[in-house]
């Protein structure tokens, strides 16, 4: 009898253990009824498009707001900015802190393999129904995919106007940083503290050897447009230098200056400037003036040292300050051997935008964080000085540009701010679409085959079209 | 008396059924339901564009039609088969040789245990880690290129990852390296099951080792050999992790190393369950057909005998 009991129990526990695995999915929505009374006011927000969302919630007094602020991030950049510059923030651990009596939870999901976006995709749509302490209040986005989340129909990011942030608050920001997070109806749904306008970062030693001068004005003449750039590439190749480390270095410069979006009437269109990138790059690869390595690969970054023999990289301030191995005394950056010029066309690279999640229960705090971290002159200047971010504030950049003490050691003492400020004015992001990230990635990947001689342009284009339709099944190709 | 026996049987049967519950539940929940679901899903248009959900709309066989008329499926199938053949032939040759040596008592190999462990070791490394390692080793400025250049064999780096046959070769080599230990052990088990007196009789009759191998070992090894071949074929059709990591998911150059499962994975970016479902169903049918062919061809004698 006892044996029987034991075996029943064993069989029972095994079955129960297996069923427990299936229970997970059912648990998630369970807490919803418990707090369904509270968010009754915001329920209609789910159906109504953003423009009409009642601002009632934003106006609610702070006392009634949630006690937990959940922030979705992909690294510790923003955590450190808040820790260093947001008044009243106390860090309690690496991934948690306190602002007054509100607990701040930093939810870090790395960007690798699209994990960050997959995470947002799974939590944001259900955010209105999540329990108060589990609601996402703030999430960060990058420009490449910002439109996906600020879309008016999707409505997962709150329009800043619903939070009570006005255009006047954002008047010192650069226009392109607003274009990136503006939805089709014209509503702004995010804000950034960075203006990542970028330029051509050149190797001073190579410039002296080949062009006879490393003065930015002289170098700019040699790369003023693509024709001049390609001429210079030939000269560099003759002296054993690669013009750029890889064809992907120049891609952003071309793709930021397109005349129309990637997709028109659900059809993928190759812009003239993109085609020009293909033609110019193919010529450069064939002449061994550049390679087809991937960005961030070892083959790409070897030019950060003199032995790599690379003339220039394209990038913004953060690339110069954080990626070029300035802490290694043997690198070119460590010796202050780089210079910065505008280059053939204006462009930007990177930047982090702060969005308020639709359904947040801390609207007042979220508003204050956005205002403080992206519009406050004093905080902006602090960030620029302490963290070397090129901040999204025209006044502050102007001040820094005229301050001679802001020479950058990596750039041999050159003050980059005037150039970066001018560049930020030039960037035009009115042609972005929600398909940009997928199209840009796949296009570079497919063309690599053309450059390497494994495919004709048509074959590579065909591969690109296939890959894009796999990613976005609703699109058509020509 | 008989009644109690029957009662005992029934009671024992009941226990048998109870013990079957865990497996049955696991099978239904984790295998049968997903399988039926996959087939069901394959008839729908169902994907996400950004955060917008499209469908599910019933579209009948449209997913299958667009897969078959696209023409790419054949290409990816051929890629997969090429990679499998490139990996399987050297692998089986190596495994047969090693297992013949290991099981041959007259050779009296020393340190067998040690070598058996060593050849199995590559299989313990995660395939993705292994692929990552090779990716770094064979990069343009990686150690292999450096070595070849210092030895004076090449004057400039050979970019292994942008040439069709070098990529395929690397994938096949990696898979071969990972699985030959496993295959060796399976074949050894088969060879050790062959009665020793057969070998003795053969050698008494004056057969050479080559004759013994081809006339005695191989025919008697056939059941195990077919098993190895079919499992390897199914594994080969599902080849994914190594080429995925090595080519960063692109199947470059020009999708020449894109396998069927990598293609399936491409549809998951847009959560295109309809298309992915259709592809999975076709893969299932394909695997069934191929296994049947292999079984028919290699086991033709056995089949005849049964008839």
- Whether residues B259 and B215 fall in one domain: yes
Rounded CA gap, A316 and A312, in Å? Answer: 13
Rounded CA gap, B147 and B163, in Å? Answer: 19
- Whether residues B126 and B274 fall in one domain: yes
**Structure letter (DSSP) for residue B31:** I
pTM above 0.90, yes or no: no
* pLDDT score of A31: 36
- Asked if residue A200 lies in contact with residue A341, where contact means CB atoms within 8 angstroms, the answer is yes
Taking 70 as the pLDDT cut, the residues of chain A under it are 1-63
Decide if A203 touches B, using CB distance below 8 A: no
Determine if residue B269 is left, alpha or beta; phi over 0 gives left, psi from -120 to 50 gives alpha, anything else beta.
alpha
Rounded CA gap, B98 and B106, in Å? Answer: 14
* Residues of chain B neighbouring A19 (CB-CB closer than 8 A): 25
Rounded to 5°, the CA angle A348-A470-B166 comes to: 85
Q: Domain for residue B16, yes or no?
A: yes
* pLDDT score of A400: 86
Residues 8-47 of B with CB under 8 A from A: 15, 18-19, 21-22, 25-26, 29, 47
* pLDDT score of B125: 85
* pLDDT single digits (tens) B75-99: 899 999 999 999 999 999 999 999 8
Rounded to 5°, the CA angle A118-A123-A126 comes to: 135
- Whether residues B57 and B20 fall in one domain: no
Listed as own residue / partner, the contacts of B155-159 with beta carbons closer than 8 Å and 24 or more positions apart are B159/A292, B159/A452
* pLDDT single digits (tens) B160-180: 888 888 899 999 999 999 999
Q: CA of B55, closest CA in chain A: separation in Å?
A: 11
Q: Domain for residue B93, yes or no?
A: yes
Decide if B270 touches A, using CB distance below 8 A: yes
- Asked if residue A88 lies in contact with residue A157, where contact means CB atoms within 8 angstroms, the answer is no
CB contact under 8 Å between A149 and B51, yes or no, is: yes
- Whether residues B202 and B166 fall in one domain: yes
Rounded CA gap, B112 and B103, in Å? Answer: 10
- Asked if residue A446 lies in contact with residue B162, where contact means CB atoms within 8 angstroms, the answer is no
Number of H helices, E strands in chain A: 20, 14
- Whether residues B62 and B181 fall in one domain: yes
Q: Domain for residue B40, yes or no?
A: no
* pLDDT single digits (tens) A277-300: 999 999 999 998 998 888 888 889
- Asked if residue B98 lies in contact with residue B118, where contact means CB atoms within 8 angstroms, the answer is no
| Sign of the dihedral defined by the CA atoms of residues A402, A405, A408, A414, in that order | positive
* Residues of chain B neighbouring A151 (CB-CB closer than 8 A): 50-52
- Whether residues B1 and B135 fall in one domain: no
Residues 77-116 of A with CB under 8 A from B: 114
* pLDDT score of B6: 63
- Whether residues B21 and B144 fall in one domain: no
Q: In what order do the strands lie in the sheet with A352-356?
A: A89-93, A96-99, A102-108, A68-73, A136-142, A352-356, A191-192
Omega into A439 within 30° of 0, i.e. cis? no
* pLDDT score of B89: 93
- Whether residues B118 and B222 fall in one domain: yes
Identify the domain containing residue B262 by its residue range.
Answer: 46-306
CB contact under 8 Å between B49 and A125, yes or no, is: no
Residues 270-299 of A with CB under 8 A from B: 291-294, 297-299
* pLDDT score of A59: 39
Arithmetic mean of pLDDT, B31-51:
87
Arithmetic mean of pLDDT, B188-215:
88
Decide if A327 touches B, using CB distance below 8 A: no
Q: Which residues pair with A182 in a beta bridge?
A: A188
Query: Given the structure tokens 């994990």, which residue do they identify?
Result: A115
Outline where DSSP puts E strands in A115-255: 136-142, 191-192, 197-203, 242-244
CB contact under 8 Å between A151 and B51, yes or no, is: yes
Report the CATH number that the domain containing residue B149 is assigned in CATH.
1.10.3720.10
- Whether residues B215 and B103 fall in one domain: yes
* pLDDT single digits (tens) B203-242: 899 888 888 888 888 888 888 888 888 889 888 988 898 9
Total tally of structural domains belonging to chain B: 2
- Whether residues B153 and B7 fall in one domain: no
- Asked if residue A471 lies in contact with residue B49, where contact means CB atoms within 8 angstroms, the answer is no
Q: Domain for residue B131, yes or no?
A: yes
CB contact under 8 Å between A18 and B29, yes or no, is: yes
Q: How far is CA A470 from CA A262, A465, A466, A473, A475, in A?
A: 16, 9, 6, 6, 9
Q: Domain for residue B36, yes or no?
A: no
Q: What are phi and psi for residue A332, nearest 5 degrees? A: -65, -40
- Whether residues B19 and B74 fall in one domain: no
Q: Domain for residue B37, yes or no?
A: no
* pLDDT score of A16: 52
* pLDDT score of A34: 37
| Sign of the dihedral defined by the CA atoms of residues A318, A321, A327, A330, in that order | positive
- Whether residues B280 and B151 fall in one domain: yes
* pLDDT single digits (tens) B272-289: 888 899 999 999 998 889
Q: Is A393 exposed, middle or buried (0-12, 13-18, 19+ CB in 10 A)?
A: buried
Q: What are phi and psi for residue A125, nearest 5 degrees? A: -60, -30
Q: Domain for residue B232, yes or no?
A: yes
- Asked if residue B148 lies in contact with residue B158, where contact means CB atoms within 8 angstroms, the answer is yes
User: Which of B22, B28, B11, B16 is CA-nearest to residue A10?
Assistant: B22
* Residues of chain B neighbouring A123 (CB-CB closer than 8 A): none
Q: Domain for residue B54, yes or no?
A: yes
Rounded to 5°, the CA angle B124-B129-B135 comes to: 135
* Helix, coil or strand: residue B44: strand
* pLDDT score of B1: 47
Is pLDDT larger for residue A34 or for residue B159?
A: B159
* pLDDT score of B112: 83
């Amino acid at each position: 009898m006892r044996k029987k009991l034991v075996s029943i129990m064993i069989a029972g526990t095994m079955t129960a253990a297996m069923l427990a695995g299936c229970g997970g999915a059912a648990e998630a929505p369970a807490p919803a009824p418990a707090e369904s009374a509270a968010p009754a006011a915001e329920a209609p927000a789910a159906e109504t498009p953003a423009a009409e969302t009642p601002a009632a919630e934003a106006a609610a007094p702070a006392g009634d707001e949630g006690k937990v602020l959940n922030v979705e991030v992909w690294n510790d950049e923003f955590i450190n900015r808040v820790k260093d510059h947001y008044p009243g923030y106390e860090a309690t651990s690496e991934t948690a802190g306190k602002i007054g009596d509100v607990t701040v939870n930093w939810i870090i999901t790395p960007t690798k393999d699209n994990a960050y976006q997959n995470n947002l995709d799974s939590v944001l749509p259900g955010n209105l129904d999540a329990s108060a302490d589990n609601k996402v209040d703030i999430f960060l986005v990058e420009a490449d995919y910002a439109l996906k989340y600020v879309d008016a129909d999707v409505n997962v990011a709150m329009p800043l106007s619903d939070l009570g942030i006005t255009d006047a608050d954002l008047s010192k920001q650069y226009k392109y940083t607003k274009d990136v997070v503006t939805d089709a109806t014209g509503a702004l749904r995010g804000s950034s503290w960075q203006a990542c306008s970028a330029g051509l970062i050149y190797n001073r030693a190579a410039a002296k050897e080949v062009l006879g001068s490393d003065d930015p004005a002289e170098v700019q003449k040699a790369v003023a447009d693509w024709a001049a750039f390609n001429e210079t590439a030939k000269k560099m190749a003759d002296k054993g230098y690669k013009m750029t480390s890889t064809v992907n270095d120049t891609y952003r410069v071309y793709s930021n200056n397109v005349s129309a979006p990637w997709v028109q009437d659900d059809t993928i269109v190759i812009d003239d400037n993109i085609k020009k990138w293909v033609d110019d790059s193919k010529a450069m690869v064939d002449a061994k003036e550049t390679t087809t390595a991937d960005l961030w690969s070892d083959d790409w970054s070897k030019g950060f040292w003199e032995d790599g023999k690379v003339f220039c990289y394209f990038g913004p301030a953060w690339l110069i300050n954080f990626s070029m191995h300035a802490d290694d005394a043997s690198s070119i950056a460590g010796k202050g051997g780089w210079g910065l010029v505008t280059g053939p066309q204006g462009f930007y690279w990177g930047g982090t935008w702060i969005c308020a999640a639709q359904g947040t229960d801390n609207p007042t705090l979220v508003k204050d964080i956005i205002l403080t971290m992206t519009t406050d002159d004093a905080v902006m200047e602090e960030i620029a000085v302490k963290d070397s971010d090129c901040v999204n504030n025209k006044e502050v950049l102007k001040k820094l540009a005229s301050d001679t003490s802001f020479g950058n050691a990596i750039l041999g003492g050159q003050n980059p701010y005037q150039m970066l400020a001018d560049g930020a004015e030039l960037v035009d992001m009115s042609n972005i679409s929600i398909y940009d990230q997928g199209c840009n990635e796949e296009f570079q990947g497919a063309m690599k085959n053309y450059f390497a001689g494994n495919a004709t342009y048509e074959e590579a284009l065909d591969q690109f079209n296939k890959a894009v339709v796999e990613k976005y099944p609703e699109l058509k190709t020509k | 008396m008989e009644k109690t026996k029957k009662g005992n049987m029934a009671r024992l049967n009941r226990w048998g059924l109870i013990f079957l519950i865990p497996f049955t539940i696991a099978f239904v929940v984790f295998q049968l339901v997903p399988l039926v679901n996959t087939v069901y899903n394959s008839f729908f248009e169902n994907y996400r564009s950004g955060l917008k959900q499209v469908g599910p709309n019933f579209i009948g066989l449209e997913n299958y039609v667009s897969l078959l008329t696209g023409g790419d499926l054949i290409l990816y199938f051929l890629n997969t088969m090429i990679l499998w053949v490139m990996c399987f032939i050297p692998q089986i040759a190596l495994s047969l040789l090693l297992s013949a040596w290991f099981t041959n008592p007259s050779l009296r190999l020393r340190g067998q245990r040690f070598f058996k462990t060593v050849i199995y070791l590559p299989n313990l490394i995660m395939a993705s880690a292994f692929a990552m390692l090779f990716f770094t080793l064979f990069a343009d400025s990686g150690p292999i290129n450096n070595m070849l250049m210092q030895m004076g064999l090449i004057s400039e780096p050979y970019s292994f990852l942008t040439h069709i046959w070098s990529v395929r070769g690397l994938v096949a080599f990696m898979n071969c390296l990972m699985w030959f230990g496993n295959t060796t052990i399976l074949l050894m088990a088969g060879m050790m099951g062959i009665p020793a007196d057969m070998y003795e009789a053969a050698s008494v009759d004056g057969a050479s080792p080559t004759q013994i191998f081809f006339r005695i070992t191989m025919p008697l090894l056939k059941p195990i050999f077919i098993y190895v071949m079919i499992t390897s074929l199914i594994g080969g059709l599902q080849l994914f992790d190594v080429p995925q990591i090595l080519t960063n998911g692109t199947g470059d150059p020009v999708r020449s190393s894109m396998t069927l499962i990598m293609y399936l994975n491409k549809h998951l970016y847009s959560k295109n369950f309809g298309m992915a479902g259709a592809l999975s169903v076709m893969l299932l049918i394909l695997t069934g057909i191929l296994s049947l062919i292999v079984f028919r061809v290699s086991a033709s004698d056995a089949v005849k005998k049964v008839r």
